[in-house]
């Protein structure tokens, strides 16, 4: 049995723990297609937060309390960078984490594509699933917000900043620095038009027995994956049934700020709202099945089979049970 999971963020990483546990039980192979829209260059280092969250979590190196980054992390480099006045200071790179970015950046600069770099990094972490970036190309989520560009950024070369009171900032600046608390107009996946699925992505989707959409943020974790030309079509038109797991329980995100992201799109923050955003496959959408929490029983998504099961990923066993419920849906 072959399972492909579309995943991003901490929700995606924790979900994959359950997928891996399930897969080990039944002898299945798992391929995770991971969001790269959050990726950014910081102090010259290529940082891939979603790939790293998955790698650290599955490799047993993640901080279980904080949810992101490494367990036992230290922050010497960060405080030294601040002592130099090096910007930005709002995104904290831990010392352990920095080693990952140094290895990645060195390999990328040497010409290796991100997918090969990811494979190389994974030889250390042995995540037990195949990790693929959605694309090897630059695809960055930017956010169009109100307000003029800051002096350092404002220029005639900034078409959005020049456009009377709107400017585009990197997703991480919106998410981490502004906590998504500024007037926001829309999300833009920069580079999406020309991005190609990373080697192996379309093949994995084509050969899958089932595609799972992790309970990740639908707007900034899953949408950037689907924005890679050909990727959404491979899932929607592929042979495998597609089951999504709701990241919203009882009208609130389990974690993170999906509510703020959904509000930007004018989509209701509910299991029904996100299910409807993905859409039923027979109606040009993505889903055959949609797993919601017991709190959301009775959720209706047109043309989609909806079932309920406990969706709190409290531990690996609970998450594996949830994965089993998702797979039994189709």
**Residues near a second copy, by CB under 8 A:** 43-45, 74, 76-77, 80-81, 83-86, 95-96, 98-100, 102-103, 105-106, 109, 121, 124
Minimal CA–CA distance to 214: which of 77, 83, 322, 82? 322
CB of 42 to a second copy, least distance (A): 9
Measured CA to CA, the distance from residue 132 to residue 33 in angstroms comes to: 5
Q: Which is nearer to a second copy, 97 or 136 (CB)?
A: 97
CB of 73 to a second copy, least distance (A): 8
C-alpha angle 76-34-168 in degrees, rounded to nearest 5 = 70
Measured CA to CA, the distance from residue 330 to residue 319 in angstroms comes to: 18
Q: Which is nearer to a second copy, 20 or 104 (CB)?
A: 104
Q: Which is nearer to a second copy, 74 or 194 (CB)?
A: 74
CB of 157 to a second copy, least distance (A): 16
Measured CA to CA, the distance from residue 245 to residue 328 in angstroms comes to: 12
CB of 131 to a second copy, least distance (A): 15
CB of 99 to a second copy, least distance (A): 3
CB of 56 to a second copy, least distance (A): 12
Q: What are the phi and psi torsion angles at 167 (to 5°)?
A: -150, 155
CB of 59 to a second copy, least distance (A): 11
Q: Which is nearer to a second copy, 46 or 260 (CB)?
A: 46
In the chain, the DSSP E strands lie at: 2-7, 29-34, 40-42, 45-47, 130-133, 140-146, 166-170, 184-190, 210-213, 242-245, 248-249, 252-253, 289-292, 305-308
Under 8 Å between Cβ of 108 and 36: no
Length of the chain: 330
Which tokens hold the place of 191? 């580079």
Under 8 Å between Cβ of 269 and 253: yes
CB of 43 to a second copy, least distance (A): 4
Q: Which is nearer to a second copy, 1 or 99 (CB)?
A: 99
- Give residues with Cβ within 8 angstroms of 247, minimum separation 6: 11, 215, 216, 217, 218, 253, 254, 256, 258, 274
Q: Which is nearer to a second copy, 42 or 269 (CB)?
A: 42
Q: Which is nearer to a second copy, 86 or 154 (CB)?
A: 86
CB of 72 to a second copy, least distance (A): 9
Q: Which is nearer to a second copy, 42 or 263 (CB)?
A: 42
Q: Which is nearer to a second copy, 94 or 224 (CB)?
A: 94
Helix axes 9-26, 316-328, angle to 10 degrees: 80
DSSP letter, residue 241: -
């Amino acid at each position: 049995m072959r399972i492909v999971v579309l995943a991003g963020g901490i929700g995606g990483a924790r979900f994959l723990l359950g997928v891996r546990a399930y897969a080990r039980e039944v002898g299945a192979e798992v391929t995770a297609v991971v969001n790269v829209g959050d990726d950014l260059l910081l102090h010259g280092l290529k940082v891939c937060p979603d790939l790293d969250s998955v790698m650290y979590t599955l490799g047993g190196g993640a901080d279980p309390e904080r949810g992101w980054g490494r367990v036992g992390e230290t922050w010497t480099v960060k405080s030294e960078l601040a002592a130099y006045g090096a910007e930005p200071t709002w995104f904290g790179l831990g010392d352990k984490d920095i080693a990952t970015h140094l290895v990645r950046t060195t390999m990328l600069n040497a010409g290796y594509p991100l997918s090969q770099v990811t494979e190389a990094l994974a030889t250390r972490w042995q995540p037990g699933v195949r990790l693929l970036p959605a694309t090897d190309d630059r695809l960055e989520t930017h956010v169009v917000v109100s307000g003029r560009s800051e002096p350092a950024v404002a220029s005639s070369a900034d078409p959005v900043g020049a456009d009377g009171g709107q400017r585009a900032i990197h997703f991480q600046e919106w998410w981490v620095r502004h906590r998504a608390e500024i007037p926001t107009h829309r999300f833009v996946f920069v580079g999406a038009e020309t991005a190609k699925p990373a080697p192996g992505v379309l093949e994995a989707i084509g050969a899958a027995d089932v595609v799972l959409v992790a309970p990740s943020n639908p707007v900034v974790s899953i949408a950037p994956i689907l924005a890679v030309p050909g990727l959404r079509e491979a899932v929607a038109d592929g042979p495998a049934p597609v089951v999504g797991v709701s990241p919203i329980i009882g009208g609130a995100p389990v974690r993170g700020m999906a509510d703020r992201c959904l509000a930007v799109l004018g989509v209701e923050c509910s299991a029904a709202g996100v299910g409807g955003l993905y859409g039923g496959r027979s109606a040009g959408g993505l889903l055959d099945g949609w797993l919601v929490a017991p709190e959301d029983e009775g959720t209706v998504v047109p043309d989609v089979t909806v079932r309920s099961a406990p969706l709190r990923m409290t531990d690996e066993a609970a998450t594996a049970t949830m994965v089993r419920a998702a797979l039994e849906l189709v």
